[in-house]
Structure 1
């Protein structure tokens, strides 16, 4: 209301409108006598014989946006990571696919290296003592992968640059597929792949 009143006063009191009113037969009443009310002004409607009283207190003008300090946003906190055994080793937990992927990467590279150096296929490697190495490697990599997870350290917090947690996940998936494809090819062929 106060803004509209001030805007109308500005428009009607402008010299362009005043000169226009002189040339035409229309005359506008003087609006300059309308009191200006601040945004926080209080109006009191008296009932009956009571008279309206105006407050003698000064009106408080709200601060402008440049005077109000902008609050700094809080730092985003990392979500709490569960360190319970069941949560870490759950099907959708952080451990199973990563551990399997890491073992598949080691197994795929080791299988190809032994096949190139000795000419033995995957099944021959397993039957001639490879299962002992497989169990030892599995235990070592599983413990090495679980210890940080039980301490609450996430894989994502330690991944930077090219060595990201997503890159490790995809490499593990490809290594799992590669190891299965290598074993299947040697089974169908009946001979080592290389």
Structure 2
């Protein structure tokens, strides 16, 4: 069997014909080389075609070239638009003034209302009737002016916030104080007297 295979390969490699992109190999083999018992004594013709492909040597595998270690600076943040210092922009419904000022007044009002109730036992209506109204108006005017001065200078609360005392924490505390003051007044109205 090895002899037949060697004969076949030598014959096939020895006969090359054809001019196209396919090479035609032709050989005449004795039938006993193929070991077919039915065709003993007759010659068989074998033809095969192979597409000619250029043999390229394998490219050497190179590691990627090291990149230069140039550090690109981080992108600079875009400058924030400057806060408007117009009176109408600051006190607009969505402006920086109203909610912050109302929240600060509500925080002071809630704490002072609870403190007076604990000290004297007066409800909110009695506190306002017994001289609390001038204190409320004076405190509201002073706190409003103190809150508006930085806004008119273009200083925002976000630029001064840091750590635990952030601008968002102040807004949330003011919102809770507003709700607490309303709940205190409503509870005292339903109860008919001071909460404590």
Number of aligned positions between the proteins: 140
Structure 1 CA distance for aligned equivalents of residues 120 and 73 of structure 2? 68
Scaled by the length of structure 1, the TM-score of the pair is: 0.65
The CA RMSD measured in Å over matched residues stands at 2.5
Structure 1 position 184, deviation (Å): 1.0
Structure 1 position 74, deviation (Å): 3.0
1:10-61 deviations in whole A, cap 9, x for unaligned? xxxxxxxxxxxxxx96544589xxxxxxxxxxxxxxxxxxxxxxxxxxxxxx
Partner in structure 2 of residue 52 of structure 1 = none
Corresponding residue SS for 2:78: coil
1:114-164 deviations in whole A, cap 9, x for unaligned? 000011111000011101000000011001100000101111111111111
Structure having greater relative contact order (Cα 8 Å, sep ≥ 6): 1
Partner in structure 2 of residue 104 of structure 1 = 106
Which structure has the bigger radius of gyration? 2
Structure 1 CA distance for aligned equivalents of residues 118 and 150 of structure 2? 35
Scaled by the length of structure 2, the TM-score of the pair is: 0.64
Structure 2 CA distance for aligned equivalents of residues 107 and 182 of structure 1? 11
After TM superposition, the runs of 4+ consecutive aligned structure 1 residues lying more than 2 A away are 24-31, 65-76
Structure 1: 5+ residue runs without aligned partners?
A: 1-23, 32-64
Partner in structure 2 of residue 126 of structure 1 = 128
Structure 1 position 75, deviation (Å): 3.9
Please state which structure has a larger fraction of its residues in strand.
Answer: 2
Does structure 1 residue 154 correspond to structure 2 residue 153? no
Superposition pairs for residues 40-55 of structure 1, below 5 Å? none
Structure 2 CA distance for aligned equivalents of residues 68 and 159 of structure 1? 36
Structure 1 CA distance for aligned equivalents of residues 69 and 139 of structure 2? 65
Sort the Cα spacing of 1:72 and 1:101 in 2 relative to 1 into closer, same or farther, 3 A: closer
Structure 2: 5+ residue runs without aligned partners?
A: 1-48, 57-66
Partner in structure 2 of residue 81 of structure 1 = 83
Partner in structure 2 of residue 59 of structure 1 = none
